[in-house]
Amino acid sequence: MGKKINLTLKVWRQKSADANGIFERYHIKDIDTDMSFLEMLDVVNADIERDGGDPIAFDHDCREGICGMCGAVINGQAHGPDNGTTLCQLHMRRFKSGDTVVIEPFRSVAFPVVKDLVVDRSSFDRIIQAGGYISVRTGQSPEAHSVPVPKPASDKAFDAASCIGCGACVAACPNASAMLFVAAKVSHLNLLPQGQPECDSRVLNMVTQMDAEKFGNCTNEYECEAACPKEISVSNIARMNRHFLRAAIRS
């Protein structure tokens, strides 16, 4: 067991996308510092329900830092103060007794609030549907050594593929840009031999869909890389821009 701390939470409460939201204040006591942030919210919700109130809505699934569902902004930082960490892996030992913790949803026109801390990130799904795949026959897996892949390319593709689509890059960017997300998905496939036949159409279609979803543009603030729980490099954005320019000229 960790030590016990007392906190004041200021939580964004919004009943629906059309409703006006407000910050509500909760005073919580004897929170174990070994708890994860989401476990702390579970405790708060148990108290709220015990008093007949409406529990705080928040997204979560795996609680192992690999699905990206748990995104929220903690004291102005997407996923909280730890680098390379999702919200579900943030622990209460990062806070001091007496702290005020402000909790709010990711803010973006393209991520409309569903309720409280839950946002609709289906815009990311539509970007993937626009080109984040390869059109090959599915079925039995090919022999691993049948398609040679240069080691530098495979390393970069693997790093880009670690993107979990949480949206922290959007929440952290002052322009609410999705460039790091899209660039990671484009790089993941365009760097590999299997992705080459659709390289041009992929980047053109995904960037077009990104713009249609009303995400902002990149102005090289680098906040996206700092907030990314998988620490994906902004070099992927430069690579996507090169691929996009080449594809536009070819088309």
The 10s digit of each residue's pLDDT in 120-144 is 999 999 999 999 999 877 677 777 7
The pLDDT score that the predictor gives to residue 209 is 98
- Is the confidence at residue 83, as pLDDT, over 70? yes
Q: CATH code at 233?
A: 1.10.1060.10
- Do 125 and 245 lie in one domain? The reply is yes
* Token pair belonging to 242: 């090169």
For residues 188-212, give the mean pLDDT: 96
- Do 170 and 100 lie in one domain? The reply is no
For the stretch 155-159, contacts whose Cβ atoms lie closer than 8 Å and that sit 24 or more positions apart, written own/partner, are 156/187, 156/191, 157/187, 157/188, 157/189, 157/191, 157/192, 159/232, 159/233
Place of tokens 């909280």: 80
User: Residue 94, exposed/middle/buried by CB under 10 A (0-12, 13-18, 19+)?
Assistant: middle
For residues 25-44, give the mean pLDDT: 97
The pLDDT score that the predictor gives to residue 138 is 66
- Is the confidence at residue 37, as pLDDT, over 90? yes
- Do 130 and 238 lie in one domain? The reply is yes
Name the more confident of 1 and 127: 127
The pLDDT score that the predictor gives to residue 146 is 82
At 155, which amino acid appears? D
For residues 204-211, give the mean pLDDT: 98
The pLDDT score that the predictor gives to residue 139 is 75
- Do 107 and 130 lie in one domain? The reply is no
- Is the confidence at residue 1, as pLDDT, over 80? no
Of the listed ranges 84-88, 143-147, 173-177, 238-242, the one predicted with least confidence: 143-147
Q: Which of 114, 137, 152 is the last residue of a domain?
A: 114
Q: CATH code at 60?
A: 3.10.20.30
The pLDDT score that the predictor gives to residue 167 is 98
The pLDDT score that the predictor gives to residue 90 is 97
Distances (CA, A) of 114 to 16, 67, 69, 167, 227: 5, 19, 14, 15, 23
Q: Which domain holds residue 136?
A: 121-250
* Mean of the per-residue pLDDT values of the chain: 95
- Do 196 and 238 lie in one domain? The reply is yes
- Do 28 and 92 lie in one domain? The reply is yes
Q: Which of 114, 132, 153 is the last residue of a domain?
A: 114
The count of domains in the chain is 2
Q: Which of 74, 94, 114 is the last residue of a domain?
A: 114
The pLDDT score that the predictor gives to residue 210 is 98
The 10s digit of each residue's pLDDT in 225-248 is 999 999 999 999 999 999 999 999
- Do 19 and 129 lie in one domain? The reply is no
- Do 211 and 107 lie in one domain? The reply is no
For residues 45-55, give the mean pLDDT: 97
> Beta strands 118-119 and 73-74: pairing type?
unpaired
The pLDDT score that the predictor gives to residue 140 is 77
For residues 16-37, give the mean pLDDT: 96
